[in-house]
């Protein structure tokens, strides 16, 4: 094809017909072009045969060459652009779009728009702003984005549905949900994409219930697509609502558009949702039945195994991913692999996979990777090695990493001096410090029998106005989520619940159970113990409600905001035997599956 062009060697023609035919042939060749090498030959031929750059045919040729090169070789596209006198809006838009889509050159999209505005030879059109706003959203460039919004209003594009969809996405990405909602509500015309963008925005902000309400509205106007369902499934995962998640799954299977049921993004979201709602078995079934998988699908399954403490499953599926030879493990994959090692205490394997990430995959570790390895090393007793890793990190450790070290120090009975230094790092950080740091330090002092310091910690918390985060547990029964706090008596069935708790207490005593207050140093012997009795922790009340309300044979699924304490962990193993029930509990760190007197974490958490 290109050789035919090179052989023709048509000389410059100044009269219309021959030049038009020649340009028509060149345009055809551009449309059939397969790579940049061919395009460059066509461009060279264009320059040799062009009579003048002001000729409309030549101008159009340059426009097509610019557009094609912007999709494959952005540097070459810029060189073509710089040779064009008075580029039109299509040419500007081609470059702005290409830069907005490039990970490394999004700032250039904004600079191009600035040049376009300053030079003033051509005005932006309605196709300019979606590209520009995409770049602003990615860079969280709020100031530049609101200036673009002002230009949109000034130029009269504020009624364009595509521009408004881009504005919603921009404001949501920059953390301005109220402004995103305002743009949405003021739209004269809304497409399914408009609804998808605002639903996704609410999901990003954790406003899961609002996202579901919007979904019920959109069903009356449009057939939801895969993008809609993906957002809704994510909302169900965020609410930890298995009932809603299963409803969403059934909705997908009933849709007229059967392609949605096999959509890779929808199925990946289903895998993630079932994992987060404590139904690993169904997550695994969905994954295995997927007709197509991308790296997100594999990551969802590996992370699912990891959060449920199934290290062997996570590592097996990582090996399967590598063996596919069609997909490459990424940064998130290794978060899952390292988390799996951490939850099972696989120190040797954790070191191996961290090194593999660095050397074989050339992935630059992020805070999440360091956090997994630090926590793994520290909880396994290798506190010095963990400290060395933190000291040599290329970035500043965050509060999460320091807190994991402090938690390990309290459990491993490290020196009080070391624990105090770690606590000081947390308190001196610019991040918000929760009550958990003070609780951990009180445990350190209590384990060293330094009761005066325990009292000082309590006094400091009072002076600083810091109170312990109340334990809160959720349980879903017949599609309704019930919330319980420690010592809760607000539930309509409280009397029945406390009768069940009494039964549990008596059955535990018959089995020789005695309370473990080792993790309750903030509770004194008189005033607080009655209020903060271990027997009235929020998850125990939730379990009593589950025993009272669920049909025999059904597992009890509990979601708690804090890490489960030693005593409750011991009690749940006993309850699983006494009442022949499976208890699936997700605490702040991971899932625990209690069955037949054992826990899936193997008492390592």
In terms of domains, do 494 and 482 share one?
yes
Residue 549, domain member (yes or no)? yes
Amino acid 382: pLDDT? 93
Residue 604 confidence class, pLDDT cut points 50, 70, 90: confident
Alpha carbons 419 and 14: distance in angstroms, whole number: 85
Contact, 389 vs 406, CB < 8 A?
Answer: no
How many domains, in total, are found in the chain? Answer: 2
Q: Examine the domain organization and report whether 406 and 489 are in the same domain.
A: no
**Is pLDDT above 90 for 600?**
yes
pLDDT band at 427 (very low <50, low <70, confident <90, very high): confident
Q: What span, in angstroms and rounded, lies between the C-alpha atoms of 5 and 41?
A: 9
Query: pLDDT at position 274, please?
Result: 97
Q: How many CB atoms lie within 10 A of CB 461?
A: 18
Contact, 399 vs 371, CB < 8 A?
no
Q: Within 187-241, where are the H helices?
A: 192-204, 208-218, 226-238
pLDDT tens, residue by residue, 219-264: 889 989 999 999 999 999 999 999 999 999 999 999 888 899 999 9
Same domain, 478 and 463: no
Domain boundary (441, 469, 497) is at: 469
β-strands 556-560, 583-586 pairing: parallel
Distance CA 216, CA 244 (A): 13
Sequence-separated (6 or more) residues with CB below 8 Å from residue 404: 371, 374, 375, 378, 379
Residue 51 within a domain: no
pLDDT exceeds cutoff 80 at 297: yes
Residues 431 and 534 in one domain: no
Q: Are residues 524 and 464 in the same domain?
A: no
Q: Measure Cα distances from 90 to 76, 107, 108, 198 in Å.
A: 17, 19, 17, 29
pLDDT at 15: 44
pLDDT at 308 over 60: yes
Residues 564, 485, single domain; the answer is yes
Distance separating alpha carbons of residues 325 and 322, to the nearest angstrom: 6
> For residue 121, which of 86, 77, 74, 76 has the smallest C-alpha distance?
86
The C-alpha angle with vertex 464 and arms to 458 and 468, in degrees rounded to 5, equals 55
459 in a structural domain = yes
Residue 586's pLDDT band (cuts 50, 70, 90):
very high
What is the rounded CA–CA span in Å between residue 434 and residue 191? Answer: 43
Residue 281: inside a domain, yes or no? Answer: no
| pLDDT of 69 higher than 90 | no
Q: Give the model confidence (pLDDT) of 473-487 as tens digits.
A: 999 999 899 999 988
Domain that holds residue 463: 398-469
CA atoms within 13 A on the CB side of 314: 30
Same-domain status, 462 and 489:
no
Residue 529 has pLDDT above 60, yes or no: no
Domain boundary among 451, 469, 487: 469
- pLDDT of res. 423: 87
Are residue 527 and residue 577 in the same domain, yes or no? yes
pLDDT at res. 103: 80
Give domain status of residue 107, yes or no: no
The whole-number pLDDT of residue 470 equals 85
- Whether residue 444 is found in the same domain as residue 487: no
Residue 553, in any domain of the structure: yes
Average pLDDT over residues 186-196: 95
Helix count and strand count (H, E) for the chain: 30, 6
| Whole-angstrom distance, CA of residue 125 vs CA of residue 116 | 11
**Is 464 in the same domain as 477?**
no
- Phi first, then psi, for residue 10 (nearest 5°) are -70, 125
Across the chain, mean pLDDT equals 86
| Exposure b/e, 291-326, CB count within 10 A at least 16 = b | eebebbbbbbbbbbbbbbbbbebbbebbeebeeeee
**What per-residue confidence (pLDDT) applies to 36?**
64
Query: Do the domain assignments include residue 314?
Result: no
Q: Are residues 426 and 501 in the same domain?
A: no
pTM (two decimals): 0.83
Last residue of a domain, one of 449, 469, 489: 469
């Amino acid at each position: 094809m290109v050789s035919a062009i090179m052989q023709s060697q048509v000389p410059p023609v100044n009269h219309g017909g021959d030049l038009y035919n020649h340009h028509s042939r060149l345009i055809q060749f551009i449309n059939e072009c397969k790579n940049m090498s061919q395009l460059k030959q066509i461009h060279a031929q264009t320059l040799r045969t062009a009579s003048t750059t002001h000729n409309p045919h030549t101008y159009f040729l340059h426009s097509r060459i610019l557009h094609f090169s912007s999709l494959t070789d952005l540097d070459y596209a810029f060189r073509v652009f710089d040779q064009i006198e008075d580029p039109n809006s299509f040419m500007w838009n081609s470059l702005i779009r290409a830069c907005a889509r490039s990970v490394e050159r999004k700032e250039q999209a904004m600079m191009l728009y600035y040049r376009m505005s300053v030079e003033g030879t051509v005005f932006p059109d309605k196709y300019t702003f979606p590209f520009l706003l995409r770049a602003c959203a990615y860079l969280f460039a709020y100031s530049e984005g609101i200036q673009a919004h002002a230009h949109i209003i000034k130029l009269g594009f504020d009624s364009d549905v595509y521009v408004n969809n881009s504005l919603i996405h921009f404001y949501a990405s920059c953390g301005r949900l109220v402004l995103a909602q305002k743009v949405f509500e003021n739209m004269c015309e809304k497409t399914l994409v408009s609804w998808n963008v605002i639903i996704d925005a609410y999901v990003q902000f954790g406003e899961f219930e609002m996202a579901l309400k919007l979904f019920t509205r959109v069903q009356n106007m449009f057939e939801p697509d895969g993008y809609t369902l993906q957002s809704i499934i994510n909302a169900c995962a965020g609410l930890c609502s298995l009932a809603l998640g299963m409803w969403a799954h059934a909705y997908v299977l009933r849709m007229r558009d059967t392609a949605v049921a096999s959509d890779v993004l929808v199925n990946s979201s289903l895998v993630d949702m079932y994992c987060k709602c404590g139904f690993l078995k169904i997550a695994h079934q969905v994954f295995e039945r997927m007709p197509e998988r991308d790296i997100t699908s594999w990551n969802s399954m590996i992370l699912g195994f990891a959060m449920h403490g199934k290290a062997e499953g996570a590592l097996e599926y990582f090996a399967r991913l590598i063996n596919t030879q069609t997909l490459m493990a990424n940064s998130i994959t290794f978060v899952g692999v390292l988390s799996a090692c951490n939850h099972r205490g696989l120190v040797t394997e954790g070191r191996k996979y961290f090194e593999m990430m660095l050397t074989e995959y050339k992935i630059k570790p992020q805070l999440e990777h360091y956090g997994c390895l630090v926590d793994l090393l520290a909880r396994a007793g290798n506190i010095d090695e963990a400290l060395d890793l933190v000291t040599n990190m290329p970035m500043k450790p965050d509060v999460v990493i320091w807190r994991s070290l402090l938690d390990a120090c309290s459990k491993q009975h490290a020196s009080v001096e070391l624990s105090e230094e770690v606590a000081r790092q947390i308190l001196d950080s610019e991040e918000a410090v929760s009550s958990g740091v003070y609780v951990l330090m009180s445990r350190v002092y209590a384990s060293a029998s330094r009761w005066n310091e325990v009292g000082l910690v309590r006094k400091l918390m009072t002076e600083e106005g810091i109170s312990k985060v109340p334990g809160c547990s959720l349980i879903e029964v017949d599609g309704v989520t019930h919330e319980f706090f420690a010592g809760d008596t607000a539930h309509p069935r409280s009397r029945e619940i406390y009768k069940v708790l009494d039964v549990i207490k008596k059955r535990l005593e018959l089995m020789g159970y005695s309370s473990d207050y080792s993790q309750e140093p903030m509770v004194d012997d008189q005033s607080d113990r009655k209020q903060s009795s271990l027997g009235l922790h929020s998850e125990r009340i939730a379990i009593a409600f589950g025993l009272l309300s669920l049909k025999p044979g059904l597992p009890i699924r509990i979601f708690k905001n804090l890490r489960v304490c030693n005593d409750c962990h011991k009690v749940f193993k006993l309850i699983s035997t006494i009442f022949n029930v499976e208890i699936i509990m997700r605490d702040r760190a991971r899932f625990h599956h209690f069955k037949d007197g054992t826990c899936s974490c193997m008492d390592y958490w």
